[in-house]
Amino acid sequence: MFSNSELVFAQHYPFSSSAKQVLKKQAFELNQTPEGVIGRAALMLSAAAKGKSYVQEHLVHSPDLLVQEIQAFPIAKILVSAIDRPDLWDRFAELVANNTFFYLTNAKNRRETLLELASDLKVKFELHNSELFLVRIPVDSFLQAGFKEDFMKLVNQPIEKGLVFLPENDFARFLSEMAREKTRDSLPVALPSIPKNLVEVARQLKEQLVHRQKKAFSFALAGKLDPNAFPPCIAKIYANLLEGKNVGHAARFNVATFLVAIGFAPGQIVELFKKTPNFNEKVTRYQVERIAGRGKARYAPSSCAKIRSYNLCLAHCPVSHPLQFYERELKKTSPQKTNSVVQK
Ligand code: SF4
């Protein structure tokens, strides 16, 4: 049997080998997944879709609830794979990274927990154990984390003889990013035959997700253009902007050129960027107006091939340009509007 602290570790880090050991001992047939486990998995995914936290600290004294939560993780992965939305796979991996960082930085025996998780994930490290730094890790291991924040980029790290020196907090960040990568790489899971009840839960979750995005879209839209008809690549960037998430340069450029092409005014696009971190109205307005042409030639929106080269493509739509997708969708709902809305 597992001790309470082993179960807590497995619940906090459900992607770990320790969690896999628990799952092996507590296995069940997929078609006999307990309702409670399905419910926890659905809550996890719902939190991921909303970008909310899913920290469950109250479970620590109940082995049954801890096991239920550990079992919910692979079920959540099956459900999210059945939903077949790569943007949700990203969000699920993000939830796992955020949880990992929370649990690591709040652990009672923080140093021991960090080292235990690093060993569990087979991360190469040397103990430094000074006041400033906890570990040194090889540069190639550090790069596996794929940090996006400037302050975590390799160029901003202390390095000596091919080893990166990390204090406790940065080692927690590194392990959280490893958790994100590990989770994201494992999705989608192979789905041989999913029991009907899980298919139904996946369907309901997908409906909620679509409904939520539609609500966000109609709130922002004022009824003239139709973001519900956006192709998946643009819809995801648009939703992230509405939620105030940090969106990369290529994504900003592509969404702006697309929106200009379908008739958004530069002012509307600037409004859309307003919630993003480090928003600078003057710079944004200048860039958007340049994209919109300012009386000269405007930037053309990218083709699917170009969007794919930026790694922003999310589906295999039967089109070669996102504008084609948009027009096709508009035709389905409002055939007479199509030609007047898309400005070529
Ligand atoms: S196939 Fe084209 S329209 Fe569809 S998500 Fe990819 S880039 Fe966008």
Confirm if 137 and 79 have CB atoms less than 8 A apart. no
Residue 212 domain-assigned (yes or no): no
Instruction: Check residue 290 and give its pLDDT.
Output: 86
Amino acid code (one letter) for 9: F
Distance CA 256, CA 290 (A): 10
Q: Work out which ligand 1 atom sits closest to the CA atom of 234.
A: 8
Is the Cβ atom of 325 under 6 angstroms away from ligand 1? yes
Q: Is the pLDDT of residue 336 over 60?
A: no
Q: Answer yes or no: do 155 and 286 share one domain.
A: no
Q: Which residue's alpha carbon is at the smallest distance from atom 4 of ligand 1?
A: 317
CA of 332 to the centre of ligand 1 (A): 18
pLDDT classification of 329: cutoffs 50, 70, 90: confident
What tokens appear for 294 in the block?
């300012």
Q: Is the pLDDT of residue 117 over 50?
A: yes
Q: Answer yes or no: do 148 and 87 share one domain.
A: yes
Q: Answer yes or no: do 68 and 148 share one domain.
A: yes
Lateral strand order in the sheet of 159-160: 126-127, 135-138, 163-166, 159-160
Is the Cβ atom of 233 under 6 angstroms away from ligand 1? yes
Question: What percent of the chain lies above the pLDDT cut of 70?
Answer: 91
Give the SS3 label for residue 242. Answer: helix
CATH number at residue 47: 1.20.930
Residue 271 domain-assigned (yes or no): yes
Q: Answer yes or no: do 55 and 172 share one domain.
A: yes
Q: Answer yes or no: do 143 and 251 share one domain.
A: no
End-of-domain residue from the set 185, 208, 234:
185
Give the SS3 label for residue 342. Answer: coil
Q: Answer yes or no: do 162 and 69 share one domain.
A: yes
pLDDT classification of 208: cutoffs 50, 70, 90: confident
Domain of residue 333: give its range. 222-341
Dmax (CA) for the chain in angstroms is 73
Distance CA 90, CA 95 (A): 9
Which position has the higher pLDDT, 133 or 149? 133
Residue 87 domain-assigned (yes or no): yes
Distance CA 30, CA 77 (A): 13
The alpha carbon of residue 313 and the mean position of all alpha carbons in its chain are separated, in whole angstroms, by 15
Please state which of the ranges 155-159, 213-217, 317-321 shows the lowest mean pLDDT. 213-217
Residue 140 domain-assigned (yes or no): yes
Is the Cβ atom of 301 under 6 angstroms away from ligand 1? no
Q: Is the pLDDT of residue 337 over 60?
A: no
Q: Is the pLDDT of residue 271 over 60?
A: yes
CA of 336 to the centre of ligand 1 (A): 24
Residue 192 domain-assigned (yes or no): no
Amino acid code (one letter) for 339: N
Pocket test for ligand 1, best of 306, 319, 321, 329 (most atoms within 8 A of CB): 319
Residue 319 domain-assigned (yes or no): yes
Q: Answer yes or no: do 288 and 141 share one domain.
A: no
End-of-domain residue from the set 185, 212, 241:
185
Q: Answer yes or no: do 161 and 306 share one domain.
A: no
Please state which of the ranges 1-15, 209-223, 255-269 shows the lowest mean pLDDT. 209-223
* Long-range contacts of the stretch 124-127 (C-beta < 8 A, 24+): 125/171, 126/163
pTM over 0.75: no
Instruction: Check residue 187 and give its pLDDT.
Output: 93
Q: Answer yes or no: do 102 and 157 share one domain.
A: yes
Q: What is the mean pLDDT of residues 251-263?
A: 92
Q: Answer yes or no: do 175 and 238 share one domain.
A: no
What tokens appear for 309 in the block?
């080269």
Q: Work out which ligand 1 atom sits closest to the CA atom of 314.
A: 5
pLDDT classification of 222: cutoffs 50, 70, 90: very low
Which position has the higher pLDDT, 239 or 84? 239
CA of 304 to the centre of ligand 1 (A): 5
Distance CA 84, CA 277 (A): 29
Average pLDDT, the chain: 86
Instruction: Check residue 286 and give its pLDDT.
Output: 86
End-of-domain residue from the set 140, 159, 185:
185
Confirm if 105 and 121 have CB atoms less than 8 A apart. no
CA of 261 to the centre of ligand 1 (A): 16
CATH number at residue 305: 1.10.579
Distance CA 36, CA 69 (A): 9
CB neighbour list of residue 177: distance below 8 Å, 6 or more residues apart: 97, 145, 146, 147
Q: Answer yes or no: do 172 and 233 share one domain.
A: no
Q: Answer yes or no: do 180 and 234 share one domain.
A: no
pLDDT digits 0-9 by tens, 74-114 = 999 999 999 877 878 888 998 999 999 999 999 999 999 99
Q: Which residue's alpha carbon is at the smallest distance from atom 6 of ligand 1?
A: 313
Residue 195 domain-assigned (yes or no): no
CA of 252 to the centre of ligand 1 (A): 16
Q: Is the pLDDT of residue 63 over 50?
A: yes
What DSSP designation does 165 have? Answer: E
Instruction: Check residue 296 and give its pLDDT.
Output: 64
pLDDT classification of 328: cutoffs 50, 70, 90: confident
Q: How many domains does the chain have?
A: 2
Residue 211 domain-assigned (yes or no): no
Distance CA 258, CA 245 (A): 19
